[in-house]
Amino acid sequence: MKLKKIILLMGAPGSGKGTQSKLLSKVLGFGYFSTGELSREYAKQDNRLGREIKVIVDKGVILPIDIIRQIFVKKLESLTSEEGLILDGYPRTLDQVELLNELMSKYTVMDIVVLFLNVDRDQLHKRLSKRIEGEGAHGRRADDDPKIIMTRFDEYQKKTAPVKDYYQKNGKLIIINGDQPIEAVHQEILEKLGINK
């Protein structure tokens, strides 16, 4: 399979990656891949992989590369369109960047664009607090426990911030003001991608 484009959305927990990824996927008709959503789905399954993922999700840490490879390759092989794929919060580590680069070569991906949703830390805390209380855009998630959220922030700072730096150094990073309302963020993304809606 050849994929014309991969669009990766990055940002801290609570930055709106999932919301913006889904909106963009609908507008472009691209496939959608979220390690977070898929890991939560797998964690509900009563099989070896599901139980292994559940333990990891419950801790709030990033999935190991071998598990990421399994679920990402399954997703790539299930795509029905060759137009493109929206990646929600993947890759999260430099190891995952290497895996993505390897798979991009294998699946002949023509282009990658990385959108970074830049959100003030205080705003992130407000959004996550609302989600903990069930008032956020998508309600409360299983990993919205305050202790797990702090672990996710720590993981983000240690492991995902270097991924942002990698794409910035390679001229692939587009900064988006994520402090705006959902629709305004969506419009900025479309404008910066040169898409007329």
Amino acid 114: pLDDT: 97
Amino acid 4: pLDDT: 87
Please give the mean pLDDT across all residues of the chain. Answer: 86
171 has a pLDDT exceeding 90: yes
Per-residue pLDDT averaged across 65-84, rounded?
Answer: 85
pLDDT bin (cut points 50, 70, 90) of residue 74 is confident
pLDDT per position as a tens digit, 111-147: 999 999 999 878 877 777 775 565 555 555 555 566 7
Rounded to whole angstroms, the Cα distance separating 11 from 160 reads 9
Spelled out in words, what is the top-level CATH class assigned to the domain 5-193? alpha beta
| 137: its two tokens | 């855009």
Per-residue pLDDT averaged across 3-32, rounded?
Answer: 93
- DSSP class of 92: -
- Collapsing DSSP to helix, strand or coil, 151 comes out as helix
Considering only CA atoms, which of 37, 112, 109, 122 is closest in space to residue 71? 37
E-assigned strands of the chain?
5-10, 31-34, 84-88, 111-118, 173-177
Which is more confident, 131 or 4? 4
Amino acid 142: pLDDT: 53
| Tokens 């609908």 belong to residue | 26
Strand order in the sheet with 31-34: 31-34, 84-88, 5-10, 111-118, 173-177
pTM metric for this prediction: 0.82
Is there a contact between 185 and 177 (Cβ–Cβ < 8 Å)?
yes
Rounded to whole angstroms, the Cα distance separating 84 from 15 reads 23
1 has a pLDDT exceeding 80: no
153 has a pLDDT exceeding 80: no
